[in-house]
Structure 1
Amino acid sequence: MTPSVTPNTIARLRLAAQWILPASASPSPGPADVVRRLTALQGQDFPGALWSIGLRAPGTTRADVEAAFNSGELVRSCPLRGTLHVTLAQDLGWILALTADRMRAGQATRHRQLGITTPDVDKVRGIALALLEQSDGKATREEVLAAFEQAGQGTKAQRGYHLLFLLCVEGTLVQGPVNPEGGNGKTQYYVSPAAWIRNSRDLDRGEALGELALRYFRSHGPATVKDFQWWSKLTLADITAALDLVGHLLETVECNGASYLLAPETAELLGGTVPGARAVLLLPGFDEYLLGYTDRSAALAPHHAPLTVPGGNGMFRATVVAGGKVAGTWRKAQGAAEKQREVAGVVVPELFGGLSPARHKALERSAKAYKRFLT
């Protein structure tokens, strides 16, 4: 009989599956282990993505995570939904082989509006590769866009962004090592995947579909097929084929009449007290804990959604998560007034309601962990 669980249990099982809880993985993982686990994690806010990795790898610092980019283990590109994600360098190619055509098709109307043609893409590809050859194999975003402009390829009104997107999706460019001088380490250099990525994995389509599905449900489950379809943008036919291959390796639970797939080791937690009830965590904006699902209601109450994503504009604030539920937002302290309210000398929380004394202590511990990460 399929176990039936509550939304709160779904949320706390996801904390464990995503390695967000301190004891979710043993031994303690490193940055590459975390990204391998999640397969692809949302990365349009680069400092936030670094903390998404760091909070799942206790004891690591921002410098440790940056080192994984600088060594070529991790890269940032657009493998899913036309949005920046962090992946293992060796995984990027096979994921793009599954998703690139659908992403290009999904942006075709916008590219026509911007006047981007196939000859334009051919031209900027040559420009980008020539620039890398002239600049020791790496170039900043500003340098690439300036080279486009100089060659008569306009970059205003998001045209430059979409040209870079197309070059990343086709595998000509990828964001690799951190630029230490660019916005206090908030940017990366563009490099050529052919030169930068070593030991790229080569999977046939069936293998790739099965691996993407298995890794998603193992790291994000409990999750529904609709969640996976939104996250991957694969067709239902492809998802059905994938689950025909790997579905027997997953378990199922039910919640409010819907079926959720998850890893067997996550399902085993139902045999005791599901962890996370007392945890108070500081997650960055765009973290996979919210962005990894189309239905976020298990963790985010509908009346709190406007406070987390103001105006519904897709810009997710950093969140305070208590017992699996979003209980507020937070930011780094700015200015003298906020310094008076900061926790552990670094974090200013904006809570939706009160916290118990025990949860305030848990919040302080999480703030101290974030402060250690930054050092």
Structure 2
Amino acid sequence: MYRVSDEQRRIRLGRRHLLAPSVRAASAVAVADAVVALHATDPATVYLSICARLSEPGVGAVEDALYEDVSLVRLLSMRNTLFTVSADVAPAVDASSARPVAAKERQKLLRHLREDGNGLDERWLADTERQTLAALAARGRATGSELSAAVPALRTKITVFPGTKQETVQGVASRVIRVLAADGRIRRDRPRGSWTSSQFRWTTAEPWPASDPGEARAEVAGRWLRSYGPATEGDLKWWTGWGIRETRTALAAAGAEEVLLDSGAVGWAAPGDHTTEPSPEPWAALLPALDPSAMGWADRGFQLPADHRAALFDRAGNIGPTVWWNGGIVGGWAQRPDGEPVWRLLSDVGREASLLIEAEAARLSAWTGDVRVTPRFRTPLERELAG
């Protein structure tokens, strides 16, 4: 069995995730494909993650990909989480992960409708969806509030979790829109406000063509191995949210090969991907909360010292903004109220690293300008630095 060291895993991360300056990308799509999928729960993360890896970072390049040529798309997929992927990767992510999530979202909404006890059922939902799609098609794009104003059924109130401590009355508009988006029949268009806003307009879309889920899982597993491997079976299971049987079948179908990791665990690599790679030039990066380079594995021991976790993660396990040096997480960063980046190193990395981190902070400031980004999931160190 081949052995792949933690140092080699960090070297691969710098090159394959386009973080070393010499391998930065020219397009937002190239970045998305390099990391397979970008976390999109927080809208700002997509921009910050992409621009950290672009040779010429800027908001316009990301906006064009999302809203003009639609070469990047958002899918509610792995782990019931919103991701941004390229249009080329979207069919595989849709069939492997998004379809099961969409089915669960629909069943959950139908259960809430039935529990409300006012005769709302599958037929009512289908009719409401038709009216919503018609209203959206007539307008071209609209916010959720604008759709509610146009479709009376969306203003319906239901009681969820009746008879429990969680009982509450909610409107159905956001739930119906969520189901339509999960099904791929509508998509997020330009937000109201800046690129950091989560108040999106919606527009109609065509669902992705149906494909075999097993083949799709094999494709996703293969892409993940080339970007994140070698890594463990548990890492892939966690990242995708698949069951253990689906994970093992996908690894086998992708031709994954066993390797030994420094931790003593058995890892999996893409076919033939176990040779030693040379180090790229020294590199530093300021990556946002939920960046894929920090969220690609369940076990991050090869890149993250255990004593850094308390400062960099929130209570739900979401990682905040991080400072990187040659494939390892060495600190965290935030923005002051005026937008200026400020950081704290949790590891002693030396003068060369400090200078490159300063250069990355200046590069970040150059394209963000005076825009202030507050992560949706705030962590202890980020809160302290921002204050």
- TM above 0.5, yes or no, is yes
Normalised by the length of structure 1, the TM-score is: 0.80
State the AA in 2 paired with 1:352.
L
Shift in Å at residue 96 of structure 1? Answer: 2.2
Establish whether residue 367 from structure 1 lines up as the match of residue 351 from structure 2.
Answer: no
Spell out the pairing of 1:47-126 with structure 2 (5 A cutoff): 47-70=44-67, 71-100=69-98, 102-103=100-101, 111=109, 114-115=112-113, 118-119=122-123, 121-126=125-130
Q: 1:320 to 1:261 in 2, by over 3 A?
A: same
Answer yes or no: is the 8 Å Cα contact 2:233–2:248 preserved in 1: no
Q: 1:267 to 1:54 in 2, by over 3 A?
A: farther
Shift in Å at residue 242 of structure 1? Answer: 2.3
Answer yes or no: is the 8 Å Cα contact 1:148–1:154 preserved in 2: no
State the Cα deviation string for residues 181-231 of structure 1 (Å, max 9, x = none).
42456344322221xx8xx56643343122111111111222211111111
State the AA in 2 paired with 1:89.
A
Establish whether residue 300 from structure 1 lines up as the match of residue 301 from structure 2.
Answer: no
**What corresponds to 1:343 in structure 2?**
none
State the AA in 1 paired with 2:359.
R
Percent identical residues: 22
Shift in Å at residue 264 of structure 1? Answer: 6.4
| Structure-1 separation of matches of 2:15 and 2:170 | 42
- Three-state SS of the structure 2 residue aligned to 1:331 is strand
Q: Identify which range, 220-229 or 100-109, moves more after superposition.
A: 100-109
- Three-state SS of the structure 2 residue aligned to 1:23 is helix
**What corresponds to 1:207 in structure 2?**
215
- Three-state SS of the structure 1 residue aligned to 2:342 is strand
State the AA in 1 paired with 2:193.
G
Question: Of the candidates 194, 197, 213, which is equivalent to residue 186 of structure 1?
Answer: 197
**What corresponds to 1:329 in structure 2?**
332
Answer yes or no: is the 8 Å Cα contact 1:94–1:202 preserved in 2: no
Question: Of the candidates 219, 232, 254, which is equivalent to residue 261 of structure 2?
Answer: 254
Shift in Å at residue 79 of structure 1? Answer: 1.9
| Structure-2 separation of matches of 1:226 and 1:147 | 47
Answer yes or no: is the 8 Å Cα contact 2:258–2:266 preserved in 1: no
**What corresponds to 2:3 in structure 1?**
3
**What corresponds to 1:290 in structure 2?**
294
Shift in Å at residue 347 of structure 1? Answer: 1.0
| Structure-2 separation of matches of 1:315 and 1:22 | 27
**What corresponds to 1:37 in structure 2?**
34
**What corresponds to 1:241 in structure 2?**
249
Question: Of the candidates 152, 155, 161, which is equivalent to residue 152 of structure 1?
Answer: 155
**What corresponds to 1:220 in structure 2?**
228
State the Cα deviation string for residues 4-50 of structure 1 (Å, max 9, x = none).
423x543342232222222346xx34111221233322111111211
Q: 1:146 to 1:333 in 2, by over 3 A?
A: farther
Answer yes or no: is the 8 Å Cα contact 1:125–1:172 preserved in 2: no
Answer yes or no: is the 8 Å Cα contact 2:135–2:151 preserved in 1: no
| Structure-1 separation of matches of 2:277 and 2:301 | 24
Answer yes or no: is the 8 Å Cα contact 1:78–1:165 preserved in 2: no
- Three-state SS of the structure 2 residue aligned to 1:247 is coil
Answer yes or no: is the 8 Å Cα contact 1:224–1:261 preserved in 2: yes
Answer yes or no: is the 8 Å Cα contact 1:114–1:159 preserved in 2: no
State the AA in 1 paired with 2:2.
T
Q: Identify which range, 353-362 or 80-89, moves more after superposition.
A: 353-362
Answer yes or no: is the 8 Å Cα contact 1:18–1:289 preserved in 2: yes
**What corresponds to 1:22 in structure 2?**
21
Shift in Å at residue 73 of structure 1? Answer: 0.9
RMSD: 3.2
| Structure-1 separation of matches of 2:70 and 2:108 | 32
- Three-state SS of the structure 2 residue aligned to 1:186 is coil
**What corresponds to 1:347 in structure 2?**
341
State the AA in 2 paired with 1:193.
A
How many aligned positions are there? 351
State the AA in 1 paired with 2:320.
R
Shift in Å at residue 107 of structure 1? Answer: 5.9
State the AA in 2 paired with 1:322.
W
**What corresponds to 1:342 in structure 2?**
none
Structure 1: state its 5+ residue gaps: 340-345
Q: Identify which range, 15-24 or 111-120, moves more after superposition.
A: 111-120
Question: Of the candidates 180, 191, 216, which is equivalent to residue 167 of structure 1?
Answer: 180
| Structure-2 separation of matches of 1:148 and 1:267 | 57
Shift in Å at residue 287 of structure 1? Answer: 0.5
| Structure-2 separation of matches of 1:101 and 1:32 | 23
